[in-house]
Structure 1
């Protein structure tokens, strides 16, 4: 890898168009074709882009999920990632800053890599601070092993809206103080391994009912309300010192004279509120500029990139029109404006970029995940005594989950009918429930027949329910009518083992649901 110039030298040595190239952080995909890889290498060498943000594949990029494109499975994904990073670094004149969204580990983007629990799971126990530090630390070690410098995490949105389609399980909860405590622990753990972080999604995406990948969420709150909740964690973490802030695509009328312009490209919000009022002088990175909340309104290539830069973003993440964007910024920006951003970016590079140690191995999440499982398991309804009494009955165990990904709706309905028959004469049911998906679209993947079946069980029999997944999925079920409902949050083996120990009475449930359910 080329050595990084000192900041003062870079400011003198780089041409203006090279400096503007450094603002861009296009997406890189581990499942690209050789032709696509070569196109990106050409882009890096010809336009001097400053960094890359890694994703799994073009089909799984968030704005495509409504397109139902088939996602390729890459068994050798981690090696592919490492090799691509080496190739792209080789194509660069100046070292690239490599980033990824690894909120719960590289597994968020790269399969067959370590996965740690979601933020909502970590938020289920306020004593998890030491474990959250370790989660940040371990994820940072995995980033280092890959050649990644910048983990675009943690989410510091306070998830106060149970219908939030995009944050939900990615937030530490609806208690702002808890969000700050755990986000701080995650940041410190990450920094302990020399990896950069980015708090997101400014000015706060926790009280939205629209997915900004697909549309523009509007937050109709007073300035006082925003200072009280949404902006509060950002201010506290900025005061502590953070590497960067990612700005989300949100409409926040009270913070701007142009509410139709999303926060991610809004000067009132980035320059006036974040920079001046809140005193943040670090790197500001845009949320992905291909997201439909912004991209569909700016069809002229390069215009969106210029607007994002002019609003106060230093790094233009997932910018799709780099050549045109560079020209547009060169035409419209002052040299002082460009230099200010380059100075910030270069200092960040200097902090994070070092020689890659190829001997580093991926972490083993098992022991840490078990500790988190033990501290987070939550008795949501009912009592330990109720479960103890239930254990002495002649109960029947029923597992409701998807066993393969290619089951048709017809297969699933047939399966439900078979289960109905199977438990016809049973009176006590131990129900193990795993939602088919983590995101809330289409009832977390449950068919209406499955929801009706579970609710029929709950209302006609004695049910002890163990839930392995996003707790918001429980909003479809009559959990108040169960003998007991226990939330295990994840379907990892460690969480299943802990749930078994809890049911057998050898482990106490110490967790508390960190959000309110409808």
Structure 2
């Protein structure tokens, strides 16, 4: 596209892939040591051995934990660091200086160089002070690996400027079941080849800049209707089907040198039953507690030599399986190297030590897990980096964030993803001369994650008004009609988020009552629907004849959607999933 700012920003990306940072940071290239992503130089290996030998049993147990920091509470971080944790996961707030100070406290108060992790997934999870980048489904819809690589460089450079050295991404789940509520916009879609290609780019660029990547959610999400945050979910595939999908994906991630894999609260019963046909309930043991899935399948059969981190241990999918006193040591004993999150860090550390004393956690597994943690730190060069390299001064960080070229790239990427799914009524382009009076019905959605970008629709409304449309919000007491409106727009803003339970249009809430939920305006009034989140709302609204997926509710997407609705720019997105949900009815 002529004048496209993206082209000039990453035209040489293929030639420079993996060229960032020094040798301590690079993990894109395969070593001669057998694709070991944590392979170390002799001096770094010596540091690991010396550190491991110097730690007391209690200090080793502390290194197993990565605890979450909600907001920028330095007192909370002090409590975590006093436990000698291996790392802190940051959910920063919206104030850059407070966020920087909180991360600085992690480094300042840790006796062993700490891992500082984040859920760096883009979309509404973009940090408030960073460039608002597309979520994974949006990147897949943009359908341009060079663009994805350029965005990955922005993500890596801005994340490193704020002290992150580990991210729990990419999500490599297969968005196969449109009813799955938590994969959705966090995934690269339903095609295995697309998932592999996009995830490789992110892994290469992140790890080239000293940020460890994590492929998740082992052994694979996207087929169950449910969310592992609420219940132990099930990967229902036969092992032949699993090998053709998730097996290919995880082997490709391992080949790409991914440093970590996140073991989730998801069962893979076909693998267990192949080993024990009478497994019964054990077939549904979550991977986070499964020696068979972590040590036999992931490490043994797939050959993964990096670090295995559990998914968050406060989630229902873990805690519904067994008592907490049993679960805490079992996470490590059954193959995870890092115990992620806790509602009571001190209490869970005591349970880990109790499990060690009772023999529920073996000395061998404790040693192996702590060694992996230290190897990851050494592979990232944390023990050799200066304090300012671990976390640049606030002025330096501010200069690295939201640079004009990064914002321009993110704006272009977000807008390139926007997908026209259908316009069977030939409604577009909109014109204020024909459709001057516009009623907008808004469902902004919400996000479970602390620190997520604020949800708003004012950008969309302002963009319409700037083009001469008279815009008002839907009033349930005076529903729109031909007499007072020329166009009705449904604006749905729900991205995938934990604990949402299901994807659906809440007609009762949207229309303002249970009886009004049955109203349908499309036969009386030109109507279109825009999703600024999940791509599957045609399942509940197949009668909507004009439908657009924007994948994220951030402001640049809203601006881009309006520009395309009025014909100022073309729709270029390619849907990474079936937006018709397998329904012929939804195509018309």
Q: What residue number does 1:363 align with?
A: 402
Q: Quote the offset at 1:208 in angstroms.
A: 1.5
Deviation per residue, 1:294-346 (Å, 9 max, x gap): 12443343x21211111111111114411221332355344443332233221
Q: What residue number does 1:103 align with?
A: 121
Query: 1:309-328 to 2 correspondence within 5 Å?
Result: 309-319=332-342, 320=344, 321-328=348-355
- Matching of residue 458 in structure 1 with residue 528 in structure 2: no
SS at match of 2:523: helix
Query: 1:438-453 to 2 correspondence within 5 Å?
Result: 438-439=496-497, 441=501, 446-448=506-508, 450=510
SS at match of 1:121: helix
Q: Quote the offset at 1:390 in angstroms.
A: 7.0
- Decide whether aligned partners of structure 1 residues 450 and 122 sit closer, same or farther in structure 2, where only a CA change above 3 A counts: same
- Matching of residue 469 in structure 1 with residue 533 in structure 2: yes
- Decide whether aligned partners of structure 1 residues 441 and 241 sit closer, same or farther in structure 2, where only a CA change above 3 A counts: same
Q: Quote the offset at 1:14 in angstroms.
A: 2.1
Deviation per residue, 1:386-417 (Å, 9 max, x gap): 524977745532322268989xxxxx998233
Between the aligned partners of 1:269 and 1:487, the Cα distance in structure 2 is: 36
Does the 8 Å CA contact 2:418/2:551 hold for their aligned counterparts? yes
Deviation per residue, 1:470-495 (Å, 9 max, x gap): 2223432235x42x322223333322
- Decide whether aligned partners of structure 1 residues 462 and 196 sit closer, same or farther in structure 2, where only a CA change above 3 A counts: same
Q: What residue number does 1:26 align with?
A: 67
Does the 8 Å CA contact 1:143/1:151 hold for their aligned counterparts? no
- Decide whether aligned partners of structure 1 residues 443 and 260 sit closer, same or farther in structure 2, where only a CA change above 3 A counts: closer
- Decide whether aligned partners of structure 1 residues 195 and 114 sit closer, same or farther in structure 2, where only a CA change above 3 A counts: same
- Decide whether aligned partners of structure 1 residues 19 and 389 sit closer, same or farther in structure 2, where only a CA change above 3 A counts: closer
SS at match of 2:217: strand
Q: Quote the offset at 1:75 in angstroms.
A: 4.6
Q: What residue number does 2:305 align with?
A: 281
Q: Which moved more, 1:139-148 or 1:357-366?
A: 357-366
Per the normalisation by structure 2, the TM-score is 0.74
Query: 1:102-501 to 2 correspondence within 5 Å?
Result: 102-104=120-122, 108=125, 111-127=128-144, 129-256=145-272, 257=279, 258-301=282-325, 303-319=326-342, 320=344, 321-329=348-356, 331-332=358-359, 333-352=361-380, 353=382, 354-355=385-386, 356-358=391-393, 359-361=396-398, 362-364=401-403, 366-382=407-423, 387-388=428-429, 393-394=434-435, 396-401=437-442, 415-420=475-480, 423-424=482-483, 426=485, 428-429=486-487, 431=489, 433-435=491-493, 438-439=496-497, 441=501, 446-448=506-508, 450=510, 456-479=520-543, 481-482=544-545, 484-501=546-563
Per the normalisation by structure 1, the TM-score is 0.84
Does the 8 Å CA contact 1:437/1:445 hold for their aligned counterparts? no
Does the 8 Å CA contact 2:505/2:540 hold for their aligned counterparts? no
SS at match of 1:284: strand
Between the aligned partners of 2:509 and 2:71, the Cα distance in structure 1 is: 37
Between the aligned partners of 1:94 and 1:393, the Cα distance in structure 2 is: 66
Q: Which moved more, 1:432-441 or 1:183-192?
A: 432-441
Between the aligned partners of 2:149 and 2:133, the Cα distance in structure 1 is: 12
Please tell me the root mean square deviation across aligned C-alpha atoms, in Å: 3.1
Deviation per residue, 1:403-439 (Å, 9 max, x gap): 8989xxxxx9982333425x4454x526252336655
Q: For structure 1, which runs of at least 5 residues remain unmatched after alignment?
A: 57-73, 407-411
SS at match of 2:332: helix
With a CA cutoff of 8 Å and minimum separation of 6, indicate the structure with the bigger relative contact order. Answer: 2
Q: What residue number does 2:13 align with?
A: none
- Matching of residue 48 in structure 1 with residue 84 in structure 2: yes
Does the 8 Å CA contact 1:416/1:453 hold for their aligned counterparts? no
Q: For structure 2, which runs of at least 5 residues remain unmatched after alignment?
A: 1-43, 273-278, 445-453, 457-471, 582-588
Deviation per residue, 1:329-368 (Å, 9 max, x gap): 3553444433322332212102322332222222345312
Does the 8 Å CA contact 2:530/2:548 hold for their aligned counterparts? yes
